[in-house]
Amino acid sequence: MNLSVTLMCCNRARLFRNKSALYLCRRLSDVPISSSDDSQSSPDEKPRRTRRAPGKASVLLFPGQGSQFVGMGKGLLKYGNVKDMFAVAEKVLGYDLLSLCLNGPEKDLMKTVHCQPAVFVCSLAAVERLNHENPAAIESCVTAAGFSVGEFAALVFSGAMNFAEALFAVKVRAEAMQKASDLVSSGMLSVIGRPQANYKHACVQAREHCLSLDIQEPVCAIANYLFPDGRVIAGHKEALDFLQNHSRELNFIGTRLLPVSGAFHTALMEPAVEPLRDVLTKIEVRRPEISVHSNVDGKRYMHDKHIRNQLAKQLVSPVKWEQTLHEIYERAQGQEFPHTYEVGPGRQLGSTLQKCNMKAFKNYTHVDVVLP
């Protein structure tokens, strides 16, 4: 499907009106889009939400690839715009995403080209559920963040992107990442280490091992900073094999290969950058109405150009999730923590929050994508 057809889908998406949790209805003409390259707001730009007391504010976290499972979305069609979201998704993607989410087969859902759009749509469907069950959580939201592809869902929720256009960008991103993955045998390794573990030096040793095997320009680098002593390392398969085979001397407590097709968030994703950068120039992007934090450095997005640049850079940069959580939850002694909602499949982000900040985790709730 080309972008012009996607824009037709956007017109349908705009039929969804204001009180929607997703801002799918946002008429871009109704809210001025800043074309400024600096961080200053346009005088005409709609201001961000009023500050709230920390204990009365909420934070929404959106999961990424790897959280998907067959059956997600079950029972959510009764909420808000969920049925229409999946209808728009079928037109944008060219296949029945709802059926794939509900019925599989699992081997198809696990493919990068399918699971990224699936997680994106199901996470926003979970927001609709939260809006139905606890509308105050949506109204009081001051901050959002998403893990990898989850950033796109966070940006849609924040009003920075239109649902259908963002989904089309996710489609292009997933296809480009899959093509990049097909070029070389690579993967991702979850690692939990002892305090004395030196992850960067371990990657250097793994690259040296690859060079001894005559692998040219080997890649092995930290791809995800999850929590203290929790990392994901990605790169050539031979490098990951080396890390697993030498885990004891590298002071790794445990390692686990992730069920993904490539070395995401490393230099091996460089071929995917230009396709994503290109599509991001063709869709509407505006300054978020709430704070949305970038995976690249954990800092808040400031304006449309910043969003476009960081989303493209994210493909070849490590996800600094631990740093992002510190940015969101850092506060003075005795100050209350916001209520945190993980919206989407799985509880991985809650688990990382528990390991990074137990006090913040006490106000954590998971909004599931399956009804009992």
DSSP letters, 20-61, are: -TT-TT--TTTSPPP--SSSPPPTTSPPPPPP--GGG-EEEE
209, 265, 306, 339: the catalytic one is 265
The pLDDT, as a whole number, for residue 114 is 98
Decide: 54 and 333 in contact? Cβ < 8 Å.
Answer: no
The pLDDT, as a whole number, for residue 44 is 41
The pLDDT, as a whole number, for residue 8 is 47
Best CA proximity match to 160, nearest among 326, 304, 356: 304
Decide: 172 and 149 in contact? Cβ < 8 Å.
Answer: no
34, 123, 148, 317: the catalytic one is 148
- What's the pTM value of the predicted model, to 2 decimals? 0.89
The pLDDT, as a whole number, for residue 55 is 64
Decide: 116 and 264 in contact? Cβ < 8 Å.
Answer: no
Bridge-partner residues for 60, per DSSP?
144, 341
- In the chain, which stretches have pLDDT less than 70? 1-55
181 CB contacts (<8 Å, ≥6 apart)?
Answer: 112, 261, 262, 263, 268
Q: What tens digit of pLDDT does each residue of 77-113 get? A: 999 899 999 999 999 999 999 999 999 999 999 999 9
The pLDDT, as a whole number, for residue 280 is 98
Catalytic annotation present for 265: yes
The pLDDT, as a whole number, for residue 56 is 85
